[in-house]
Amino acid sequence: MNAAQKARRRESPAGMSYYGAFRDCPRKYYCKYVLGITPTHTKPALIKGGCLHEAVAFTYGSKNPPPQTDVIKKYNEEMALREDEYEDGEQYLKDVNSGELMLQTWYGRWAEYDHKFYDIVEVEQQHKVYLGPNKEFFMTIRPDRVMREKATGLLFAFETKSTSWSIPMMYNKTADGDQVSSYLWALDRDGFKIDGCIIDVLYHKGRVLDAQRPGIAIRSKAELVVHEMGMYSTILDVTQRYKSLEHHPWPLLFPAHRNACSQFQCEYKDICRANIQVGEIPPGFRRDPWAELDTSIAQMQKFTLDDWEVKK
């Protein structure tokens, strides 16, 4: 991983992606975060999606949208930085072309519209929000952007997705997911009168290009409370299993969720049945220096269910 890639890594060990990995599959969580191994080559869809994300965010960095050519240039620069993550050079060239077309479609539909009808409140801003009544643990979120509709004063978080799958299915998966819940929960706890999360979907399959916002994901106050308690439960579960590694074999503590293998085309699928030892790096993988999470794990180990009870 080069210096530019490390600087761009924004995944937080206190964030929803970190705990979401455990919820999706404890075995994947163990491989990625406890062993600290990651595939040598990244899935093309993840690279392209990340670079599209950076280009879209770039569009909101000023009062007026930058020229479309500058947005495309930003995308190409991000892709060039990550070219060595591609295993297939031909796929890289295809994704460069596809991403340019997707951005052109999205830009023509939403860039000027957003600057005209919304006030940009923040872009890629990290929020650190304390969890539980005693506020002894925190979580972080980083919404793609937060914007206020000028005509109504309504405040929305935005989540940008790219797909060649299906716009309605991508919208439903995102709108129902924990990532959106974490945005709305944390923004609400951070004092924002947030009205929902708009899902921004960029689509390209074959000759079909589209950019839609199919709907707004909302959560009631009760749903946000349930989400917070669910996150507390996940943290406790991770902590208990991590502590138990000293006395019990890791396959017992971090089982694989096989439905996640096919559903998400997991990059750890071919090694998760192996008895990988700490420090071992299987072929096709590398050590990820970012995965040194000692500080976060130490903090988690102080966490107990009793912390949920308000101290008198």
For 136-157, write each residue's pLDDT tens digit: 678 889 999 999 999 999 999 9
* Higher pLDDT, residue 93 or 6: 93
Q: Measured between alpha carbons, how far is residue 51 from residues 10, 76, 96, 235, 295 in Å?
A: 13, 8, 10, 31, 30
Bridge partners (DSSP) of residue 137 are: 131
* Mean pLDDT of the region 89-114: 98
* Higher pLDDT, residue 77 or 267: 77
pLDDT reported for residue 261: 76
| Residue 282 in tokens | 């299987």
- pLDDT exceeds 70 at position 6: no
pLDDT reported for residue 293: 58
pLDDT reported for residue 243: 83
* pTM for this prediction: 0.89
Measured distance CA(310)–CA(312) in Å, rounded: 6
3-state secondary structure of 25: coil
pLDDT reported for residue 162: 97
What sections of 190-308 are H helices per DSSP?
Answer: 221-244, 250-253, 258-263, 294-300
Q: What is the mean pLDDT of the chain?
A: 88
| Residue 8 in tokens | 């761009």
pLDDT reported for residue 11: 60
Binning pLDDT at 50, 70 and 90, where does residue 1 land? very low
* Mean pLDDT of the region 83-100: 96
pLDDT reported for residue 305: 66
* Mean pLDDT of the region 21-39: 89
Beta-strand runs (E) in 179-290: 196-205, 208-212, 216-217, 285-287
pLDDT reported for residue 238: 87
* Higher pLDDT, residue 103 or 299: 103
- pLDDT exceeds 90 at position 178: yes
pLDDT reported for residue 235: 85
Condensed to tens digits (0 to 9), the pLDDT of residues 265-293 reads 788 988 888 888 888 999 999 987 655 55
Binning pLDDT at 50, 70 and 90, where does residue 130 land? confident
* Mean pLDDT of the region 227-243: 88
- Look at the chain and count its residues: 312
As a whole-number percent, the residues of the chain with pLDDT over 70 amount to: 86
